[in-house]
Amino acid sequence: MKKVGIIMGSDSDLPIVEKAVNMLKSLEIPYEVHIYSAHRTPAQAAEFSKNARANGFGAIIAAAGMAAHLAGAIAANTTLPVIGIPCKSSVLDGMDALLSTVQMPTGIPVATVAINGAANAALLAAQIIAVDDAQLAARLDEKRAADAAKVLEKDAALEI
Ligand code: RP5
């Protein structure tokens, strides 16, 4: 199975990124996690992205806050699908990172999830990998069914 790369701009993004890691683990998807910054270590971020396809990755998740250029900088160096997680920082509540990540110019797309939307980033990466992996697609179907069952349980237990 193809791997998912998870890149974060700083170790301060780890509490958010952990939700993506846990989701990939629960779906039995191989992954690698790195700290590469678009601003502080741009050469390493570019190197990883240029070699990602040859190194067995099928999708890359990039998490960054503030002036979050990481997802775009990674997408500039690969045609693998790149999923951006805008991370909430202390000052502008993540709106800065959301706009920096989502507003990509034509030609270099980044699939942007919600602010701090790490679990959805992992699910989207899983769905990309599952395009040609029937077993993973079946695990995703099972998860959807289990999630729906939980909602119906709560509906049945409602006493208002
Ligand atoms: C971004 O700046 C990182 O992704 C992080 O969200 C934010 C702050 O980084 P630190 O100053 O905490 O390392 O590049």
What is the average per-residue pLDDT within 131-150?
Answer: 98
* CA 20/CA 34 separation, integer angstroms: 13
Containing 7, the helix (H) or strand (E) segment is strand 3-8
CB atoms within 10 A of CB 61: 29
The bridge status of strand 57-65 relative to strand 82-87 is parallel
- What pLDDT is stored for residue 46 in this prediction? 98
- Per-residue pLDDT at 59 exceeds 90: yes
pLDDT, average across residues 134-158: 98
Q: Which of 82, 70, 83 is nearest to 35 (CA)?
A: 70
- Closest protein CA for atom 7 of ligand 1: 65
Tokens representing residue 38 in the block: 């678009």
**pLDDT at residue 54 in the model:** 98
pLDDT(57) > 90: yes
Sketch the domain layout of the chain as residue ranges.
Answer: 3-133
Q: Could you read off the pLDDT of 6-56 as tens digits, one per residue? A: 999 999 999 999 999 999 999 999 999 999 999 999 999 999 999 999 999
- Separation of CA 131 and ligand 1 centre (Å): 33
pLDDT band of residue 89 (cuts 50, 70, 90) is: confident
Mean pLDDT calculated for residue range 117-135: 98
- For residue 89, the SS3 value is coil
pLDDT over 90 at 90, yes or no: no
The CATH number given to 3-133 is 3.40.50.1970
Average pLDDT over residues 130-154: 98
Average pLDDT rounded to a whole number, residues 96-100: 98
- How far, in Å, is the centroid of ligand 1 from the Cα of 3? 25
Provide the mean pLDDT of the chain. Answer: 97
pTM over 0.95: yes
What pLDDT is stored for residue 78 in this prediction? 98
Mean pLDDT of 90-98: 94
Instruction: Tell which atom from ligand 1 comes closest to the C-alpha of 8.
Output: 4
Residue with tokens 């990939």, as numbered in its chain: 24
